[in-house]
Amino acid sequence: MKNIFSYITVVCTVTTILLTACSKDEINTYEGKDSIYFKWTVDSIFSGSTVEGIDSIGFSFGFFPPEAVEYVYKIPVYVQGELSETDRLIQVEVLETSTAVAGTHFSIPETVTFRANSRKDSIPVTLYRTPDMKEEVFSIVLEILPNKDFNTEMDGDIIDAATGEMRSYTRFELTVNDILETPEYWFEPYLGKFTIKKMTLMSELLNIPFDYYNSNRPSLPETQYHGLFMQRYLDEKKAAGETIYEEDGTEMTM
């Protein structure tokens, strides 16, 4: 019995000490700066896809009508850490390896803000359409630098063990030109030959961006639906005596 009372006394004493300590000193929480990185380099541009991340992407004014002389391209960034109740600043540097000229081919705001209560935001790059883009591709290489609000501890990973090539999480390249080519994800068996007039009509009828098949990777069922929808529309116009022709005079088909 004596041993039982001794055990209870020890337990009570220890409990009292722990409770007293907890009441005097709060438990420490993480207080370090959050890390920021380019989202596509880790999560890929395609949501839910198994495709590996990218640290560069291209944009072409060739997919836009002549009156479109500038475009704001938003490169998403992500924070690893806690949400903040206040706005924070992102420090971005344009590297000397860029071939695009600031003020001529592009511009970036002097202050880039990561909005409060957000885990994801973006760095806006305003692109300007210039005549030399018809012949040349220009690059804008951005790097996120550490500052009072963010660390950049997520450096990157090795994607080729043989060469040591790395994919950076804090460096991203955006290329821009005004050269029109068949969109990367244009599937000719469903959509037929690519033309500006056809894509313009598809954009209007399907309510999709003009560069949809270049900046997105539609599924085959979606692409098939687009092809069938458009062909039905073209057939109806033809039946009504209003056949739609391409710029070269040939009948538009999907």
Q: Which residues pair with 165 in a beta bridge?
A: 160
Instruction: Let me know: does 117 contact 148? Beta carbons within 8 Å.
Output: no
Look-up of token digits 């806006």: 124
| pLDDT by position in tens, the chain (length 254) | 445 545 444 445 545 555 555 444 554 444 568 999 998 887 755 545 445 678 888 888 987 878 999 999 999 999 988 899 999 999 999 999 999 999 999 999 999 999 999 999 999 999 999 999 999 999 999 999 999 999 988 766 655 556 656 678 899 999 999 988 888 889 999 999 999 899 989 999 999 888 788 777 888 999 999 999 999 999 999 999 999 999 999 999 99
Instruction: Let me know: does 31 contact 150? Beta carbons within 8 Å.
Output: no
Q: Where are the beta strands (DSSP E) in 137-244?
A: 138-145, 150-151, 156-160, 165-168, 171-177
The CA distances from residue 156 to 55, 73, 143, in Å, are 10, 23, 12
Residue 86: other Cβ atoms inside 10 A: 8
Cα–Cα distance for residue pair 105/73, rounded to 1 Å: 13
* Residue-range domains of the chain with CATH: 34-177 (2.60.40.1740), 188-239 (no CATH)
**pTM for the whole structure:** 0.65
Q: What burial letters (b/e) apply to 115-150, b meaning 16+ CB within 10 Å?
A: eeeeeebbbebebbbbeebeeeebbbbbbbeeeebb
Instruction: Let me know: does 108 contact 94? Beta carbons within 8 Å.
Output: yes
